[in-house]
Amino acid sequence: MSVERTTLAPGHEISRIIRGGWQLAGDHGPVERDSLNDGFLAFFDAGITTLDCADIYTGVEEMIGDFRRHLGQARGAEALARLKVHTKFVPDLTLLPTITRADVEAIIDRSRARLGMDRLDLVQFHWWDYAQPRCIETLLHLQALQQAGKIAHIAGTNFDASHVAAFAAAGAPLTSIQVQYSLLDRRPAGDFTATAAASNTGLICYGALAGGFLSARWLGAQDPAETLSNRSLIKYRLIIDECGGWDAFQALLRALDRIAQAHAVPLSAVAARWVLDQPGVSAVIIGARHAGHLADTLAIAALRLSAADHAAIAAVLTPGPQGDVYALERDREGRHGRIMKYNLNKN
């Protein structure tokens, strides 16, 4: 079965499964640079034609820029035009009080150079601290760069519903909004989804597999909380705590495993398909360091969950994190905020 596609905006068609780039940035295991382009090409040829990265993912924009050159040589201009690259604009926390149009343009120009693109396909704007008042002003700087031809589409990441609405009211509605959304974290459901829909803002969802926790690897496993060193696993293990802890998590995995066995797919495919089935969701981001993850990723595209499957999943769900999207993570003194790195762009 082919990978589903959707149109986020006129002229911007993407695969509903997006290959994520955070896992290539270090702290997630080794990256085989010699085979990286072949891996990117395997995903592309399989129909996963959209890549997600960020200006603060160390080295990843350069990796994708190299692949773009490789793709053009291997498959030609038509294939290169089908590839869509979503990057992010994440100004450092320390820059927010004084950020200027020149600062914004310098960061965008650096991403253009790294990716080898005159015009960036889609830029996802992140703002660390709502108490800093230049957020909408900065978004309008991005809009000016869009009008200058340096950005095709402006999106957001980790903003709550009130900010999504405020951006639309300021005349700068977001093409999409990237948020954490999974069986463990359902904060985007309901009001947030409705607010995004009001401005035709599609949801791009990360964390659908909770950094790999929502996979058969962890079914029946002992709680690893005290031994984790991978930053992604540390982040999502905290989310498991918000869902009732390790025992409740194991009950969810057992339910997912029964469904996966019935469909002859990986457990992870059930978890990701559930997110794709949610209202307002345009796409899910699935991280992969190499092409060895391709078959499991394609299983998401092939899977269709029945009403009975959804009911079985709903029966074991716990409330999970509460409050606004990304609110827990914005508390820099809290458990979720303390593990974040806030000043990576200056490098």
Whether 318 and 50 have beta carbons less than 8 Å apart is answered as: no
Residues 280 and 28: their CA atoms lie apart, in Å, by: 30
pLDDT tens-digit series, residues 22-46: 777 665 455 556 678 999 999 999 9
Mean pLDDT value across the chain: 94
- Identify the DSSP state of 3: P
pLDDT score recorded for residue 232: 84
Q: What is the pLDDT of residue 225?
A: 84
Per the CB < 8 A criterion, the answer to whether 339 and 175 are in contact is no
User: What tens digit of pLDDT does each residue of 148-179 get?
Assistant: 999 999 999 999 999 999 999 999 999 999 99
Half-sphere exposure of 16 (CA within 13 A, CB side): 19
Could you read off the pLDDT of 49-106 as tens digits, one per residue?
999 999 998 889 999 999 999 999 999 999 999 999 999 999 999 999 999 999 999 9
What is the pLDDT averaged over residues 4-27? Answer: 90
Model confidence over 206-235: pLDDT tens digits?
999 999 999 999 999 999 988 887 878 899
Note whether 175 and 209 are within 8 A (CB): no
The helix (run of H) or strand (run of E) holding residue 84 is strand 84-89
pLDDT of 305 > 80? The answer is yes
- In tens, the pLDDT along 308-321 reads 999 999 999 999 99
Q: What is the pLDDT of residues 93-114, one digit of tens each?
A: 999 999 999 999 999 999 999 9
Q: What is the 3-state secondary structure (H, E, C) of 258-327?
A: HHHHHHCCCHHHHHHHHHHCCCCEEEEEEECCCHHHHHHHHHHHHCCCCHHHHHHHHCCCCCCCCCCCCH
Q: Residue with structure tokens 């009080």?
A: 97
How far apart CA 89 and CA 272 sit, in angstroms, is: 26
Q: CA 320 to CA 84: how far, in whole Å?
A: 33
In the chain, pLDDT over 90 holds for what percent of residues? Answer: 87
Q: Strands 5-9 and 12-15, how do they pair?
A: antiparallel
The Cα–Cα gap between 262 and 152 comes to 43
Burial category of 77 from C-beta neighbours within 10 Å (exposed 0-12, middle 13-18, buried 19 and up): exposed
